Amino acid sequence: MKRKQQEKPQDNRDYENNGESWLRGKTIGRGGFSRVSLAMTKRVNTRRCNLPPIMAVKWAEIFQSDTLQEEREVLADLDGCPHIVHCFGDEVTFGNNELYFNLLLEYGSVGSLAQHIKRSNDGLPESEVKRYTKSILEGLVYIHSRGYVHCDIKPANIILVPSSTFAFLSSRKRKPRSYCYVVKIADFGLAKKAQQKKLKRGWRGTPLYLSPEVVRDGIQEAPADIWALGCTVAEMITGKPALSCKVGSDVNCVLFQISSGFSLPEVPSEMPDEGKDFLNMCFVKNAELRWTAKMLLNHPFIAGDGI
Protein backbone atom coordinates (compact mmCIF):
# COMPACT_ATOMS: atom_id res chain seq x y z
CA MET A 1 0.00 0.00 0.00
CA LYS A 2 1.31 3.39 -0.95
CA ARG A 3 1.82 5.92 1.77
CA LYS A 4 -0.38 8.96 1.68
CA GLN A 5 1.71 11.83 0.35
CA GLN A 6 2.30 14.52 2.96
CA GLU A 7 0.89 17.94 2.25
CA LYS A 8 3.47 20.53 1.30
CA PRO A 9 3.97 23.31 3.84
CA GLN A 10 2.24 26.54 2.93
CA ASP A 11 4.41 29.05 1.12
CA ASN A 12 5.45 32.11 3.11
CA ARG A 13 3.55 34.24 0.62
CA ASP A 14 -0.02 34.87 1.70
CA TYR A 15 -1.44 34.42 -1.78
CA GLU A 16 -0.01 33.83 -5.24
CA ASN A 17 -1.99 36.72 -6.73
CA ASN A 18 0.74 38.33 -8.79
CA GLY A 19 0.43 41.49 -10.87
CA GLU A 20 0.73 41.88 -14.59
CA SER A 21 4.35 43.01 -14.32
CA TRP A 22 5.39 41.96 -10.82
CA LEU A 23 5.63 38.94 -8.53
CA ARG A 24 4.44 39.10 -4.94
CA GLY A 25 6.97 38.11 -2.27
CA LYS A 26 6.88 37.67 1.48
CA THR A 27 4.73 39.76 3.80
CA ILE A 28 6.74 42.46 5.58
CA GLY A 29 3.96 44.33 7.39
CA ARG A 30 0.33 44.17 8.50
CA GLY A 31 -2.17 46.72 9.70
CA GLY A 32 -5.94 46.94 9.88
CA PHE A 33 -7.38 45.30 6.79
CA SER A 34 -4.23 45.63 4.67
CA ARG A 35 -0.88 43.91 4.34
CA VAL A 36 2.44 44.94 2.84
CA SER A 37 4.50 42.57 0.72
CA LEU A 38 7.74 42.76 -1.16
CA ALA A 39 7.37 42.52 -4.93
CA MET A 40 9.82 41.98 -7.76
CA THR A 41 9.27 43.31 -11.26
CA LYS A 42 9.14 40.70 -14.03
CA ARG A 43 12.18 41.18 -16.21
CA VAL A 44 10.47 39.78 -19.30
CA ASN A 45 7.70 42.37 -19.20
CA THR A 46 8.75 45.77 -20.51
CA ARG A 47 5.31 47.34 -20.88
CA ARG A 48 5.54 48.89 -17.40
CA CYS A 49 9.18 49.88 -17.40
CA ASN A 50 8.46 52.66 -14.89
CA LEU A 51 8.45 50.08 -12.11
CA PRO A 52 11.64 49.59 -10.06
CA PRO A 53 13.19 46.12 -9.62
CA ILE A 54 11.83 45.87 -6.04
CA MET A 55 8.71 47.48 -4.59
CA ALA A 56 6.52 47.38 -1.51
CA VAL A 57 2.95 46.40 -2.36
CA LYS A 58 0.23 47.40 0.10
CA TRP A 59 -2.89 45.32 -0.51
CA ALA A 60 -6.30 44.35 0.77
CA GLU A 61 -9.36 42.42 -0.34
CA ILE A 62 -11.33 44.61 -2.74
CA PHE A 63 -14.38 44.89 -0.47
CA GLN A 64 -12.16 46.10 2.39
CA SER A 65 -9.98 48.42 0.34
CA ASP A 66 -11.81 51.76 0.72
CA THR A 67 -9.10 53.20 2.97
CA LEU A 68 -6.37 51.92 0.66
CA GLN A 69 -8.07 53.49 -2.36
CA GLU A 70 -8.34 56.79 -0.47
CA GLU A 71 -4.61 56.56 0.29
CA ARG A 72 -4.00 56.12 -3.43
CA GLU A 73 -5.87 59.37 -4.12
CA VAL A 74 -3.87 61.24 -1.49
CA LEU A 75 -0.55 60.00 -2.89
CA ALA A 76 -1.64 60.98 -6.39
CA ASP A 77 -2.28 64.54 -5.14
CA LEU A 78 1.11 64.60 -3.41
CA ASP A 79 3.08 63.14 -6.33
CA GLY A 80 6.40 64.79 -7.10
CA CYS A 81 7.72 65.55 -3.61
CA PRO A 82 11.10 63.84 -2.98
CA HIS A 83 10.40 63.71 0.76
CA ILE A 84 7.27 61.58 0.39
CA VAL A 85 7.17 57.88 -0.49
CA HIS A 86 6.60 57.47 -4.23
CA CYS A 87 3.56 55.61 -5.54
CA PHE A 88 3.91 53.77 -8.87
CA GLY A 89 0.18 53.23 -9.31
CA ASP A 90 -2.33 50.58 -8.37
CA GLU A 91 -3.60 47.29 -9.75
CA VAL A 92 -6.39 44.81 -9.05
CA THR A 93 -5.28 41.17 -8.88
CA PHE A 94 -7.01 37.82 -8.42
CA GLY A 95 -5.96 35.01 -6.10
CA ASN A 96 -7.46 32.47 -3.70
CA ASN A 97 -10.86 33.15 -5.35
CA GLU A 98 -10.74 36.80 -4.24
CA LEU A 99 -10.06 40.17 -5.88
CA TYR A 100 -7.40 42.37 -4.27
CA PHE A 101 -6.57 46.06 -4.56
CA ASN A 102 -2.79 46.68 -4.66
CA LEU A 103 -0.92 49.92 -4.08
CA LEU A 104 2.56 49.86 -5.65
CA LEU A 105 4.97 51.83 -3.47
CA GLU A 106 8.62 52.76 -3.16
CA TYR A 107 10.43 50.25 -0.95
CA GLY A 108 12.33 51.47 2.09
CA SER A 109 15.07 48.87 1.92
CA VAL A 110 16.84 50.21 5.01
CA GLY A 111 13.66 49.90 7.08
CA SER A 112 11.75 52.50 9.06
CA LEU A 113 13.12 55.30 11.19
CA ALA A 114 11.74 53.41 14.22
CA GLN A 115 13.89 50.40 13.34
CA HIS A 116 16.90 52.64 12.75
CA ILE A 117 16.44 54.24 16.18
CA LYS A 118 16.09 50.84 17.81
CA ARG A 119 19.35 49.67 16.22
CA SER A 120 21.12 52.74 17.64
CA ASN A 121 20.27 51.69 21.24
CA ASP A 122 20.67 55.17 22.75
CA GLY A 123 19.62 57.61 20.04
CA LEU A 124 21.02 58.99 16.80
CA PRO A 125 23.87 61.48 16.31
CA GLU A 126 22.71 65.11 16.36
CA SER A 127 23.87 65.74 12.79
CA GLU A 128 21.76 62.82 11.60
CA VAL A 129 18.74 64.00 13.58
CA LYS A 130 19.01 67.42 11.96
CA ARG A 131 19.17 65.99 8.42
CA TYR A 132 16.21 63.70 8.95
CA THR A 133 14.18 66.43 10.66
CA LYS A 134 14.78 68.83 7.78
CA SER A 135 13.59 66.23 5.24
CA ILE A 136 10.46 65.46 7.26
CA LEU A 137 9.72 69.18 7.59
CA GLU A 138 10.09 69.70 3.84
CA GLY A 139 7.66 66.85 3.31
CA LEU A 140 5.20 68.37 5.79
CA VAL A 141 5.44 71.79 4.13
CA TYR A 142 4.36 70.14 0.87
CA ILE A 143 1.63 68.03 2.50
CA HIS A 144 0.13 71.03 4.31
CA SER A 145 0.41 73.29 1.26
CA ARG A 146 -1.67 70.75 -0.68
CA GLY A 147 -4.38 70.93 1.96
CA TYR A 148 -3.72 67.64 3.77
CA VAL A 149 -2.94 66.55 7.32
CA HIS A 150 -0.95 63.32 7.69
CA CYS A 151 -2.43 62.51 11.14
CA ASP A 152 0.09 59.77 12.01
CA ILE A 153 3.61 61.18 11.93
CA LYS A 154 5.88 58.88 13.94
CA PRO A 155 9.18 57.02 13.41
CA ALA A 156 7.40 53.87 12.24
CA ASN A 157 5.85 55.83 9.35
CA ILE A 158 9.12 57.35 8.15
CA ILE A 159 11.10 55.09 5.80
CA LEU A 160 14.81 55.13 5.03
CA VAL A 161 15.96 54.64 1.46
CA PRO A 162 19.50 54.56 0.07
CA SER A 163 20.72 57.79 -1.44
CA SER A 164 22.86 58.00 -4.56
CA THR A 165 25.87 58.12 -2.21
CA PHE A 166 24.83 54.72 -0.84
CA ALA A 167 24.79 53.27 -4.34
CA PHE A 168 28.22 54.78 -5.01
CA LEU A 169 29.72 53.21 -1.88
CA SER A 170 27.99 49.87 -2.42
CA SER A 171 29.47 49.60 -5.88
CA ARG A 172 32.90 49.78 -4.20
CA LYS A 173 31.96 47.30 -1.48
CA ARG A 174 32.40 49.80 1.31
CA LYS A 175 30.30 49.78 4.42
CA PRO A 176 27.60 52.47 4.07
CA ARG A 177 27.19 55.08 6.76
CA SER A 178 24.16 56.98 8.04
CA TYR A 179 24.68 59.87 5.60
CA CYS A 180 23.98 57.40 2.79
CA TYR A 181 20.30 57.27 3.76
CA VAL A 182 17.45 59.69 3.13
CA VAL A 183 14.09 59.64 4.88
CA LYS A 184 10.62 59.87 3.37
CA ILE A 185 7.18 60.21 4.91
CA ALA A 186 5.07 57.11 4.31
CA ASP A 187 1.74 55.52 5.29
CA PHE A 188 -1.00 57.99 4.36
CA GLY A 189 -3.78 55.62 5.37
CA LEU A 190 -5.06 58.04 8.01
CA ALA A 191 -4.41 61.26 6.11
CA LYS A 192 -7.30 63.67 5.68
CA LYS A 193 -8.15 66.95 4.04
CA ALA A 194 -7.63 69.98 6.24
CA GLN A 195 -10.87 71.26 7.81
CA GLN A 196 -12.51 67.92 7.07
CA LYS A 197 -15.37 67.04 9.40
CA LYS A 198 -13.99 65.21 12.41
CA LEU A 199 -14.65 61.53 12.99
CA LYS A 200 -17.03 60.22 15.63
CA ARG A 201 -14.12 59.14 17.82
CA GLY A 202 -12.53 62.57 17.32
CA TRP A 203 -9.00 61.57 16.33
CA ARG A 204 -6.81 59.42 14.12
CA GLY A 205 -3.30 58.17 14.72
CA THR A 206 -1.17 56.79 17.55
CA PRO A 207 -1.92 57.96 21.13
CA LEU A 208 1.69 58.69 22.19
CA TYR A 209 2.07 61.17 19.31
CA LEU A 210 -1.27 62.98 19.63
CA SER A 211 -1.44 66.65 20.57
CA PRO A 212 -3.73 67.97 23.34
CA GLU A 213 -6.21 69.65 20.98
CA VAL A 214 -6.68 66.41 19.06
CA VAL A 215 -7.60 64.39 22.14
CA ARG A 216 -9.46 67.15 23.96
CA ASP A 217 -11.39 68.79 21.12
CA GLY A 218 -11.12 66.38 18.19
CA ILE A 219 -9.37 69.11 16.16
CA GLN A 220 -6.72 67.47 13.98
CA GLU A 221 -5.15 69.95 11.61
CA ALA A 222 -1.62 70.81 10.46
CA PRO A 223 -0.43 71.83 13.98
CA ALA A 224 -1.10 68.26 15.14
CA ASP A 225 1.48 66.98 12.66
CA ILE A 226 4.00 69.45 14.12
CA TRP A 227 3.41 68.16 17.66
CA ALA A 228 3.97 64.60 16.39
CA LEU A 229 7.12 65.75 14.61
CA GLY A 230 8.43 67.11 17.93
CA CYS A 231 7.78 63.72 19.54
CA THR A 232 9.66 62.06 16.67
CA VAL A 233 12.67 64.39 16.98
CA ALA A 234 12.90 63.81 20.74
CA GLU A 235 12.74 60.05 20.14
CA MET A 236 15.57 60.25 17.62
CA ILE A 237 17.71 62.01 20.23
CA THR A 238 17.06 59.70 23.20
CA GLY A 239 16.08 56.43 21.52
CA LYS A 240 12.89 56.39 23.62
CA PRO A 241 9.34 57.76 23.13
CA ALA A 242 9.04 61.41 24.16
CA LEU A 243 5.94 60.69 26.20
CA SER A 244 6.72 58.38 29.09
CA CYS A 245 4.13 55.68 29.55
CA LYS A 246 4.22 52.54 31.65
CA VAL A 247 4.06 49.25 29.78
CA GLY A 248 0.49 47.99 29.71
CA SER A 249 -1.02 51.39 30.51
CA ASP A 250 -4.64 51.81 29.51
CA VAL A 251 -5.03 53.85 26.31
CA ASN A 252 -7.86 55.92 27.77
CA CYS A 253 -5.64 56.80 30.72
CA VAL A 254 -2.88 57.97 28.35
CA LEU A 255 -5.36 60.04 26.34
CA PHE A 256 -6.69 61.65 29.52
CA GLN A 257 -3.16 62.61 30.58
CA ILE A 258 -2.50 64.18 27.16
CA SER A 259 -5.78 66.13 27.01
CA SER A 260 -5.43 67.40 30.58
CA GLY A 261 -1.78 68.36 30.18
CA PHE A 262 -0.70 66.13 33.09
CA SER A 263 1.64 64.22 30.79
CA LEU A 264 3.61 66.13 28.16
CA PRO A 265 6.51 65.09 25.90
CA GLU A 266 9.91 65.53 27.51
CA VAL A 267 12.49 67.80 25.91
CA PRO A 268 15.79 65.86 26.14
CA SER A 269 18.23 67.54 28.52
CA GLU A 270 21.17 66.48 26.35
CA MET A 271 20.02 68.63 23.42
CA PRO A 272 21.75 71.98 22.76
CA ASP A 273 19.76 75.12 23.57
CA GLU A 274 18.77 75.55 19.90
CA GLY A 275 17.41 72.02 19.84
CA LYS A 276 15.44 72.52 23.05
CA ASP A 277 13.96 75.74 21.65
CA PHE A 278 13.02 73.90 18.43
CA LEU A 279 11.08 71.29 20.41
CA ASN A 280 9.45 73.93 22.58
CA MET A 281 8.07 75.50 19.38
CA CYS A 282 6.65 72.08 18.43
CA PHE A 283 5.11 71.54 21.87
CA VAL A 284 3.25 74.86 22.25
CA LYS A 285 -0.04 73.83 23.86
CA ASN A 286 -2.07 76.41 21.96
CA ALA A 287 -2.25 74.97 18.43
CA GLU A 288 -2.80 78.43 16.92
CA LEU A 289 0.54 79.61 18.33
CA ARG A 290 2.49 76.46 17.47
CA TRP A 291 5.11 76.99 14.78
CA THR A 292 4.34 75.79 11.27
CA ALA A 293 6.55 73.44 9.24
CA LYS A 294 7.66 76.37 7.09
CA MET A 295 8.64 78.41 10.14
CA LEU A 296 10.55 75.50 11.67
CA LEU A 297 12.61 75.08 8.50
CA ASN A 298 14.12 78.48 9.28
CA HIS A 299 14.82 77.64 12.94
CA PRO A 300 18.56 77.80 13.82
CA PHE A 301 18.52 74.13 14.89
CA ILE A 302 17.72 73.15 11.27
CA ALA A 303 18.89 76.09 9.19
CA GLY A 304 22.45 76.16 10.57
CA ASP A 305 25.52 74.02 9.95
CA GLY A 306 24.92 73.86 6.19
CA ILE A 307 22.35 71.08 6.51
Which residues are annotated as catalytic?
152
**200 annotated to bind ligand:** no
Query: Which residues contact residue 70 at a Cβ distance below 8 angstroms, ignoring those fewer than 6 apart?
Result: 189
Q: Which residues have a Cβ under 8 Å from the Cβ of 128 and sit 6 or more positions away?
A: 178, 179, 236
Does residue 240 sit in helix, strand or coil?
Answer: coil
Alpha helices in the chain (DSSP H): 66-77, 113-120, 126-145, 164-170, 212-217, 222-238, 251-260, 273-282, 293-297, 300-303
- Angstrom distance (rounded) from CA 29 to CA 58: 9
The one-letter amino acid code at 182 reads V
Label residues 157-169 b or e (16+ Cβ within 10 Å = b): bbbbbbeeebeeb
| CB neighbour class for 276 (10 Å; exposed up to 12, middle 13-18, buried from 19) | middle
| Cβ proximity of 241 and 230 under 8 Å | no
SS3 194: coil
What residue numbers does the annotated binding site cover?
A: 58
What residue numbers does the annotated binding site for ATP cover?
A: 58
